[in-house]
Structure 1
Amino acid sequence: MSAITTRLATFDDIEELQQLIGLSVRGLSIAYNTPQQIESAIKYIFGVDTQLVIDGTYYVALLDGITVGCGGWSKRNTLYGGDQHKEVEDPLLDPTMDAARIRAFFVHPDYARRGIGSHIMKVCEAAAQSAGFRSLQLGATLPGVPLYEAMGYAALENIEQAMPDGQVLPIVKMHKAL
């Protein structure tokens, strides 16, 4: 297999990443969520958080020049969700006291289980550690829990995220010390 590479996401990537996110969620969540939960989550929760692009903490994963995944980390308080899920300004975290956030990981379903998520995670963990953070938190959807557990994350809390149309998305809040 060719080497997976990453680069920082730019605003020029957003449209392609939004399409990737929809493909990822529809393709990889079907065994875990109902079609209604999936479509509601795409509409109300999942998407690119442009603050991550502005902060230079969101990555595009490429394989042979093809965009196959995305994910990032954050020095801000939001645990999960794209622009459409945020209502207030996202304050900065204190790396000496707070956990950095692992955010918005999505892999194209045709490239799932080939190490792409793990690769992006290692890039994010190293960057967060370089920024002074000593621990990480994330909000995992059910399809992502096995990857995060394999990478040393432990569940802290189960969250039932209500969406405006009455659907509920299960999310697992997870943590890892660096």
Structure 2
Amino acid sequence: MSITTRLAKFEDIPQLNEMIALSVRGLSTDYYTPAQIERSIKYIFGVDTQLITDGTYYIAEKDGMLAGCGGWSKRNTLYGGDQHKEVEDPLLDPEKDAARIRAFFVHPDHARQGVGRHIINVCETAAQQHGFTSFELGATLPGVPLYKAMGYEAIERIDAPMPDGELLGIVKMRKVLS
């Protein structure tokens, strides 16, 4: 079974949001409480349409089925979907800033089958083609092992507040190309 990627389109958003919720519910239970999982789907995780507009958000498919999604950004936002953003998202300077690796989710039926790694490789290559030589991301706790295996180092732990007072642990990570 080969993994293919394509750019996400606006008409993909309903299916992507469904898959994102399945991913968070299916892969986060060992790391977050049920309340954190449900609130993170409501307040933080979802499609960031700016990535689709910028042409930097990808869908991974295995045998024609949606297996995962993820992207990279030349903008300042580190994590979160449309429902998490409140301000304009300024452009980064590839000479001094790190590209953002963003909004990665894998369908639970395709977890640990190389989908996430495949999308990260696509994103890193695309960001490099736009002049970026370093990358930053806001990793969910279940994503940290994959990112570490791909050369990312933890910078800091962020307890992302949600509107109802619940906190979600996220790890800011960085990778610099040599």
The interval holding the TM-score normalised by the smaller chain is over 0.9
Q: Which amino acid aligns with 2:4?
A: T
**Aligned-partner SS, 2:13:** helix
**For residue 138 of structure 2, what is the aligned residue in structure 1?**
139
Q: Which amino acid aligns with 1:69?
A: G
CA deviations over 1:89-135 (Å, ceiling 9, x no partner): 10000000000000000000011000000000000000000000010
User: 1-side partners of 2:61 and 2:107: how far apart?
Assistant: 11
CA deviations over 1:33-85 (Å, ceiling 9, x no partner): 00000001000000000000000000000000001100000000000000000
Output the TM-score relative to the length of structure 2: 0.99
Number of aligned residues: 177
**For residue 75 of structure 1, what is the aligned residue in structure 2?**
74
What is the 5 A alignment of 1:1-20? 2-20=1-19
What is the 5 A alignment of 1:1-178? 2-178=1-177
Structure 1 residue 166, shift from structure 2 partner: 1.4
**Aligned-partner SS, 1:38:** helix
Output the TM-score relative to the length of structure 1: 0.99
Same amino acid, percent of matched pairs: 72
Gapped regions of structure 1 (runs ≥ 5): none
CA deviations over 1:4-44 (Å, ceiling 9, x no partner): 00000000100000000000000000000000000010000
**Aligned-partner SS, 1:136:** strand
Q: Which amino acid aligns with 1:27?
A: G
Gapped regions of structure 2 (runs ≥ 5): none
User: 2-side partners of 1:132 and 1:111: how far apart?
Assistant: 32
Q: Which amino acid aligns with 1:45?
A: I
Q: Which amino acid aligns with 2:72?
A: W
Structure 1 residue 165, shift from structure 2 partner: 1.0
Q: CA RMSD in A?
A: 0.4
Runs of 4+ deviating beyond 4 Å: none
